[in-house]
A and B are shown apart, each in its own frame.
Chain A
Amino acid sequence: MMEWLGQFNYYVFAILMTAGVYIAMSRGNLVKKVVGLNIFQASVFLLYISSGKIWGGTAPILGDGLTQPISNPLPHVLILTAIVVGVATTSIGLALIVRIKEAYGTVEEDEIAEAEALYEEELIRAEEAEA
C-alpha cells in the first residue's frame, strides 16, 4: 500500500500523459488539440519534478552545519527549460490557429478539410479560366 502511495506522482503522470496524447490525437477542434498537448507536456513536468524529490529532503542550500539530505535540484532546472519550450509551442500553435481561422473561417478539422478541398477546386478553376 505504501509503495503505491510512494509512486502516486508517477501514476498521475501516466494518467495525464495518456489523457493528453488522446486529446491531442482524437479531438477535431484545433484549440482542444493544443490543450491536449499542454496536458501531455505538463505530465512530463510532473515526472521530472517527482524524480528530484527525496523524502525528508530539503532545499539544496550549502552551508556549515546543514546535514539534512537535499532534493536534487537538477530536474527542476531542466524542467524550467521544458516549461519555456511548452509555452513557446503553445503560442506558435495558437498563432497558427488564428491564421487557419482567418484563411478558412473555422478551427474544426473536418470543416478545414472541406474548405481545403474547395480551395483546391477554386485554384484549378482559376487556372482553367486563365488557360
Chain B
Amino acid sequence: MSTAANAGFSLMANLPALQVVVPMVAAPICTFLRFRNGPWAFALLVSAATFWISANLLMQVLGGDVISYEMGGWAPPFGIEYRVDTINAFVLLIVSGVSLIALPYALRSVEREVPRDKHHLFYAAWLLCLCGMLGITITGDAFNIFVFLEISSLSTYMLLASGRDPRALTAAFQYLVLGTLGATFILIGVGLLYIMTGTLNIADLAERLGPVSDTTSVRAAAAFLTVGIALKFALFPAHFWLPNGYAYSPSAVGVFLSATATKVSIYVLLRFQFTVFGDIPAFAELDFATLLLPFAVVAFLVGSTVAIFQTDLKRLLAWSSIAQIGYMVAGIGLGGIDGLTAGIVHLFNHAVTKAALFMAAGAIFLRVGSMHIDKLAGIGKTMPFTTLAFVLAGLSLIGVPTTVGFISKWYLILAALQHGATGYAIAALVLASSLLAVIYVWRVVEVAYFREPATNHEVTEAPLSMLLPLWALTIGCFYFGLETGYSVDIARAAAQSLLGVTP
C-alpha cells in the first residue's frame, strides 16, 4: 500500500476504516480484471486482507477495550464513528473468515454455474456484499447501518440472480421486495429516533433516549426497527424467499450468504435491542426480542418439519437454515447471559456448520449435476470424502455432543430452563426440533450409503479446491465443539458487554 509510506499514516491506527474501504475500493477494480481467474484471485487476495484486519481488530478488543475510530477526523457524535467492541469484532471475523474460506471453493462452482463473461461482475458483487456486511457490523452510526445494509442487499440480489437457474430470479425479486421493505422500515425507525433525539450516533442515542423514551414516537421507532430487522434475517413468516434463493443460486453464493447475511442482521438486532434500547426502563417490560420469541419457536419447528419433506438437497439445507435462525432469535429472546451467549455462539457455530453443508451440497451438484435426493444414490461410494464431510457436519446440525451444534443447543436449553414452565416447553421443543433434524439428515445418509449408485452415470470425487475448504470447516465443527475456549468465551464476553454486566 503506497499510502503507508506517507508521513503520519499509520496502518494499524486506520484498521477500522480499512476493514470497509479495502473491499469497497477493490470491487470496482475487480470489474476491470477480465482475464481468466483474475477476478477470483483478486477477490481472494482482498478477502485475505480483510480477514487479517478483522483478526487484528479482534485481538485488540479482546481485553475489553473499545476502539473508537473517527471517520475523516470528525469527532462523534457529529462525525461518523466506527466502533469496535467484542461482539462486532467477533461478527467481523465470522464474515471475513467465511468469505476467505468460501472463495477458494467458489472457483470451480462459479466456473460451472455462472456464465464466463459475468465472472468479473460476480466477484465484484461478492466484494461489495462483503464490504456492506462488514460496514453494517463495524459502524457506530445508525444511518450508516442503513446505507451499508443496502450496499450488501443490492449486491445480494445480484449474487442470487447470477446463476443460470430461472427460479433464482423470482427468489431474488421476492427478496428485493421484502429486503427493501425491511431496510426502509429500519430507515423509518432511525428517522424517528433522529427526530426525537437529534443524533444518529448509536452510543449517543442510547444516552439521549432516556428523557424521551416514554413517547409514542420512540415506541414506533422500536417497532419499525424490530420488524425491519426481522424481515432482513428471514424470521418466520418472512422467510419465503430464502429456500429458493439459496437453493437455485450458484453453490458458492449459498455457502457465503447462508453463513453470513442473516448473522449480520441478527447482530443489528442485538445492537439496537441492547445498546440503544437496553437501558431504558420503558422497554424493560415490553422487550421486542421477547416478542420475537414465539416467531422464533415457530420458525425452528416449521423449518425443521418442512426440511424433512424436501426433495432438493439445497432446499432442505435452506429450510434448516430457517430453523437455525429460529434458534438464534430464541436465544436472544430468552435473554440473560446464557440466552445471549447461546444466540451469539450459534451465529458462529451455524456459520461453520451450514457453510460446510452447503459446500458439500455444492460439490455434489458439481459432480452429479442434480440436487434431487433420489439422484444422490450411492454417492457415499463414489464421492466418499464429500459425503463423509456432509454427514459429520450434519451431526453438528443435529447437535450431537462433541460438535459445535451441541454447544449452541446446550446453552440455549440452559437459558430456557431458567424461565419456568414456558422455558421447559421451549427446551422440549428445541429437543423435538433436533429430532426432526435427525430425520432430514438421515434421509440423505440413507440414499448416499444404502443405495447402489446409478451405473450409467460416472461420478468422481470433488476437486481438491472444494474438498479442502469443506474439510477445514468440517474439522472446525468438531474442533470448536471440543475446544470451546474461543467461541463460547468470546460470545460470553460479548453478551456481558451488551448487557452491561462486568464479568
Contact = CB atoms under 8 A, between A and B. Distances in A.
Given A51-B195, A99-B169, A131-B454, A44 B176 contact: no
B166 A103 contact: yes
Given A44-B187, A78-B143, A89 B169 contact: no
Contacts of A70: none
Interface in B446-479: 454, 456-457
Contact of A96 (B146, B172, B181): B172
Contacts of B180: 37, 40-41, 89, 93
Contact of A92 (B143, B176, B187, B370): B176
A93 B167 contact: no
- The 4 tightest CB contacts between A and B, nearest first, are A103-B166, A85-B150, A51-B195, A96-B173
Contacts of A19: none
B181 A24 contact: yes
B114 interface: no
A21 to B, nearest CB: 7
Interface string B12-28: 00000000000000000
14 contacts: A24-B177, A24-B181, A25-B177, A40-B180, A44-B188, A48-B191, A89-B150, A100-B169, A100-B173, A116-B166, A127-B375, A131-B454, A131-B456, A131-B457
Task: Point out which of B146, B184, B194, B454 has the most chain A C-beta atoms below 10 A from its C-beta.
Answer: B184
B194 to A, nearest CB: 7
Interface string B138-177: 0000010011001000100110010000110110110011
A116 B194 contact: no
A20 B183 CA distance: 14
Contacts of B194: 51, 75
Contacts of B169: 96, 99-100, 103
Contacts of B154: 85, 88-89, 92
Task: Point out which of A40, A89, A99 has the most chain B C-beta atoms below 10 A from its C-beta.
Answer: A89
B372 interface: yes
A131 B454 CA distance: 8
A127 B173 contact: no
A74 B327 CA distance: 39
B147 A127 contact: no
A41 B184 CA distance: 7
Interface size bracket, B side: 20 to 34
A67 B180 CA distance: 41
Interface string A83-116: 0010011001100110110011000000010001
B188 A47 contact: yes
A119 interface: yes
B176 A89 contact: yes
A3 B147 CA distance: 34
A100 B176 contact: no
Given A75-B194, A92-B176, A119-B167, 16 more contacts: A24-B177, A37-B177, A37-B181, A40-B180, A40-B181, A44-B188, A47-B188, A51-B194, A85-B146, A85-B154, A89-B154, A92-B157, A104-B166, A116-B166, A116-B170, A120-B167
Interface residues of A, number: 35
Task: Point out which of B157, B170, B370, B375 has the most chain A C-beta atoms below 10 A from its C-beta.
Answer: B170
A60 to B, nearest CB: 14
Task: Point out which of B147, B150, B183, B191 has the most chain A C-beta atoms below 10 A from its C-beta.
Answer: B191
A103 B171 CA distance: 13
Contacts of B457: 131
Nearest to A72: B198
Interface string B343-362: 00000000000000000000
Interface of B: 143, 146-147, 150, 154, 157-158, 161, 166-167, 169-170, 172-173, 176-177, 180-181, 183-184, 187-188, 191, 194-195, 370, 372, 375, 454, 456-457
A24 B232 CA distance: 16
Nearest to B143: A78
A97 B177 CA distance: 12
A75 to B, nearest CB: 7
Contacts of A82: 146, 187
A93 B176 contact: yes
A92 B158 contact: yes
B191 A33 contact: no
Nearest to A127: B370
Contacts of B454: 131
A44 B148 CA distance: 18
Contacts of B150: 85, 88-89
Contacts of A100: 166, 169-170, 173
A81 B80 CA distance: 15
B191 A47 contact: yes
Interface string A56-90: 00000000000000000001001001100100110
B67 to A, nearest CB: 25
Nearest to A103: B166
A82 B144 CA distance: 11
B372 A127 contact: yes
A112 B157 contact: no
A127 B377 CA distance: 14
Nearest to B161: A96
Contacts of A127: 370, 372, 375
Nearest to A37: B180
B173 A93 contact: yes
